[in-house]
Structure 1
């Protein structure tokens, strides 16, 4: 799960476009950006991603749109 802390309010349509760019770029890296959530007023974006490692997940964001996450956490699905 990655977290982007943006400097102000977020336009959800811009985030949707960035997510589509991730989807277009992810395949060559073995990454799967599965879902994202937006906190428009709080300026935060959360991305659920399956990737070989955090660096590769960040590389897809970097190549797709340049908005690299501030933090990346390994998470596991709860029972």
Structure 2
């Protein structure tokens, strides 16, 4: 299954609980698209959030995020890992 990293904007001032709520929203519907969100990170100063996931396609990742309320167009497949 391909691995993806995506980037979100607009999380300025969000705390750990807010990031967890966004992540939980993804987890609640991820199976409907065959996606699994592994981990999420946040920089509340820049407002950037990052997610690591696996799934069948970039579009599947985007659909879950959009439905969960925090869509993004920045989804990158990561085919090489060490």
TM over 0.5: yes
Distance in 2 separating the partners of 1:47 and 1:28: 18
Aligned partner of 1:24 among 18, 22, 28 = 28
In the alignment, is residue 68 of structure 1 matched against residue 74 of structure 2?
no
Aligned partner of 1:78 among 63, 78, 81 = 81
Paired residues in the alignment total 78
Structure 1 vs Structure 2 CA RMSD: 1.5
TM-score by length of 1: 0.86
Please list the CA deviations of residues 53-73 of structure 1 after superposition, one character each: whole Å capped at 9, or x if unmatched.
111111111222x21124111
TM-score by length of 2: 0.83
Distance in 2 separating the partners of 1:24 and 1:31: 11
Distance in 2 separating the partners of 1:76 and 1:40: 28
Q: Return structure 1 stretches of 4+ with deviation > 4 angstroms.
A: none
Aligned residue for 1:72, secondary structure, equals: strand
Q: How far apart are residue 48 of structure 1 and its match?
A: 0.4
Which runs of 5 or more residues in structure 2 are unaligned?
none
